Amino acid sequence: MPSLPDFDDARFASAPLYAGAARVTGFAFRAGQGLKTHTVPDEAFLLVTEGSAGVTVDGTLHTLGPGDGIVLPAEVPHAVDAPTDARLVLIRSRA
């Protein structure tokens, strides 16, 4: 499996890790970076591998650390904020 992306001081970094029955994407966030509220058509699972992340799902904030994960239901608004440098893995099913 490819390695997670390197940090980028200008914006969060992402890289595809696997594409098959599911899509796996790695993310690297510097402290203070994040993803604005958005939705996706497929259910996904987000796993924190390093650092910490605040993940807001349908208006509820969840604070995650290394080894923590959360289900992101299809079509439900969610956002990610990194209070520390963080690496995450997103596993997205294909409908």
Q: Where are the domains positioned within the chain?
A: 33-82
* pLDDT 10s digits, 16-73: 888 888 899 999 999 999 999 999 999 999 999 999 999 999 999 999 999 999 999 9
pLDDT of residue 95: 61
pLDDT of residue 65: 98
pLDDT of residue 18: 84
Is the domain defined by 33-82 classed in CATH 2.30.30.100? no
pLDDT of residue 1: 58
- Write out the DSSP string of 73-94: -TT--EEEE-SS-EEEEEEEE-
Q: Give 82's DSSP letter.
A: -
pLDDT of residue 21: 85
Tokens of 15: 């890289």
Whole-prediction pTM value? 0.88
